[in-house]
Structure 1
């Protein structure tokens, strides 16, 4: 995402939240009283959660050999709130007695939820992963999961509704774009959109038939399918062959996919003269932290409340969340890629680099996301 973190001092409600969390931890060793009570309630009602909503997994649909879609029916309160096309949801389930949290983009449209009461998550199996292979097996016949409220800023802005849009997707990074395009179709949108979609080979394009039908149903929508085996990775020549002029300032661009593809696309667009302000992007995976401006030597991090000292090395930069967990601390976290905001923590002093926004903070107090913050100087945290 491209919006910087605010450098303003935390609001009064934020101070109350910090105080209440400290009070809860003092009495229960948990950040919330509900976290302490929840296991007791679950003895009578398994999978009950005071924080999350519940959803039934109705079906599991195989898209490719390593991609599947879960069709879920959320509880009525979640469905009534709805979501915006392009947003995520955190899926929480229990594996071998341990609660697992994973964040996935919603691949269906808000209109689909309004009409059916259902929504879909399309998930790529990480072959060496601990959770995604298990999800495919565990929910092959349905089941029950907890889900978070929808979140995320990678969405279409009503203010940009009249501007033409280029979507660049890689692999399963297509999922938020599927949601957006389906919503445009349902609302009979007139916005000009071109989708440039990359996959490993011709068998890996997700929802290809849907998009090809959409070119017939929406005259203002056009599609370019590229596979690495035949066309190679994204390159300048591919952009030049598109049926549009990137130098026309009214064109907006959105990119979603693996980290290397996004880095390459952003650089190619800069080389083509496209202003960064016209480009919105979202990493499917952790943002890169190997190039942090101004990072030298070692940085010392003081975790004030836990009286713990951490050390970061410029040669192998790590997020503050990783550093804290390696020291045995257990800060609240969720997606680990900067979208769910569960790991927000008060920085009392010091400078950090946000790997998601590419912004460097000032040296004063502010709230930061631990999972995407790398210390640039010595830092003091309210942790």
Structure 2
């Protein structure tokens, strides 16, 4: 009997279409979330807890524990007949209860292969959102309990694994590199305001992996809800975790007498900077202060602390590159014109600014969203060439890797998989 390709008699997409009309939450292929609860974490931060459908769970089974700390999901929210997509960081880790609820009540009724009812633990994800902007305000204030929305699976590179790969790659270029040291290096987490949300999962995961962890959280209030989480971690890991909550309105909480992140405030932590990886999520001012402080701290063997920073920013960070060819100063860089080739479209254009702006200047439309490096909608794969991130100043490798066109400029000729 001949074997080989056998077309589906009934397409899964058709089954999904019919099923969505009968039960909007169920799907064979589309990850979906159903809102089950809201929590007020502070005056300007609201947690939304969603139940996941089977497609979401199946598609995240390949990831460790469902997803990595620091990742995000894209929500597709229907408002006044129009779908809007936004990215939000996941709070905590999969299968680990958060401090404000008891996981024992999360029991859901499912069915087995013979359609018999069985009890299973409800699988949920939690997002912490500031109710500002159209989509965030609608989601936190008006989205009905029980509403179903489409989502992506968890994604993103603001993770321990990504930082470890970066550290090992940089160490391989230095003499006497010891990759085992990076398995237990010190991790510094710096957050501003709601930038703390992706940190919960990252910090928990880092402590489980036996890292030394230090947290700096800059905020205009105490955020007592999160303080409870940090106290729980202190109790579990008394020798591995310490934190500093800097209330920018309370001088008693300042580091080195400053409400801002400065070189002195970093040095006051007494960390082994040559073996420290930094994760940061915050505003333009916070990230700008961090990069300036990292520049001022001298490391041995020609290392740069700036290269040890991984960011996930919800604002546009201070550009590290000036596009003014006539400007002088340390941060002014003469950006040369390079050729950008779009492999799938067989198109090319010249660029002396961000890849997105240069393409639009040539009437070439590329996907984009916020244009600030936040929403990830402009992300694409670079096939070859070197680009520079204008927010972090970091140079890419010259091989295949994902980049964002709105915040990268070409330093050589570049081929994009677009």
| Bigger mean CA deviation after superposition, 221-230 or 360-369 | 360-369
Q: How does 1:201-212 map to 2 (within 5 A)?
A: 201-204=220-223, 207-212=226-231
Please state how far the C-alpha of 1:51 moved relative to its aligned partner.
7.0
- Equivalent residues in 2 for 1:151-190 (5 A)? 151-157=155-161, 160-183=182-205, 187=208, 190=210
Structure 2: gaps of 5 or more residues: 1-11, 98-102, 104-120, 165-179, 323-332
The offset of 1:374, in angstroms, is: 3.7
State the Cα distance separating 1:112 from its structure 2 match.
1.6
Shift of 1:263: 2.2
Matched, 1:371 2:406: yes
Distance verdict in 2 for CA 1:380–1:84, change over 3 Å? closer
TM-score of the superposed pair, with normalisation by structure 2: 0.65
3-state secondary structure, aligned to 2:160: coil
> Which residue in 2 is equivalent to 1:281?
311
Q: Of 324, 336, 344, which residue of structure 1 is paired with 2:360?
A: 324
Offset of residue 71 of structure 1: 0.7
Cα separation, 2, equivalents of 1:165 and 1:367? 24
Q: Which of 64, 75, 93 pairs up with 1:91?
A: 75
Shift of 1:94: 1.2
Structure of higher RCO (CA pairs closer than 8 Å, 6+ residues apart): 1
Structure 1 residue 133 and structure 2 residue 132: aligned? no
Give the one of 47, 65, 72 matched to 2:50.
Answer: 72
Number of residue pairs matched by the alignment: 339
Query: Which residues of structure 1 form unaligned runs of 5+?
Result: 1-33
8 Å CA contact retained: 1:338, 1:371: no
Relative distance call for 1:194 and 1:367 in structure 2 (3 A) is closer
1:327 to 1:272, Cα distance in 2 relative to 1, 3 A: same
For the 8 Å contact 2:32–2:55, the answer to whether it is kept is no
Identify if the C-alpha distance between structure 1 residues 171 and 300 changes in structure 2 by more than 3 Å, giving closer, same or farther.
Answer: same
Select the structure of larger CA radius of gyration: 2
Closer/same/farther in 2, CA of residues 332 and 341 from structure 1, 3 Å limit: closer
Please say if residues 46 and 128 of structure 2, whose CA atoms lie closer than 8 Å, have aligned partners that are also in contact.
yes
Superposition deviation, residue 377 in structure 1:
8.6
The yes-or-no answer on 1:354 pairing with 2:376 is no
Q: Among 289, 294, 300, which residue is 2:334 paired with?
A: 294
CA contact (8 A) 2:68 2:159 kept: yes
Q: Which residue of 252, 263, 284 maps to 2:288?
A: 263
Give the Cα–Cα distance (whole angstroms) in 2 for the partners of residues 103 and 153 of structure 1. Answer: 13
Could you tell me which residue of structure 2 aligns to residue 227 of structure 1? 247
Q: Distance in 1 between matches of 2:358 and 2:24?
A: 31
Per-residue CA deviations over 1:239-289 (Å, capped at 9, x if unaligned) read 2332xx234533332222223212211221231225334333322234444
Pairing 1:28-67 to 2, within 5 Å after superposition: 52-67=30-45
Relative distance call for 1:42 and 1:234 in structure 2 (3 A) is same
Distance 2:380 2:186 in 1: 35
Q: Is the 8 A contact 2:25 2:34 kept in 1?
A: no
Contact 1:55–1:145 (Cα < 8 Å) also in 2: yes
* Aligned equivalents of 1:344, 1:381: Cα separation in 2: 7
Q: Is the 8 A contact 2:31 2:54 kept in 1?
A: no
- TM-score (normalised: structure 1): 0.70
Secondary structure of the structure 2 residue equivalent to 1:283? coil
Show the counterpart of 1:236. Answer: 263
SS, match of residue 132 in structure 1: helix
SS in 1 for 2:198: helix
Match of 1:123 among 110, 126, 129: 129
Is 1:146 the counterpart of 2:150 in the alignment? yes
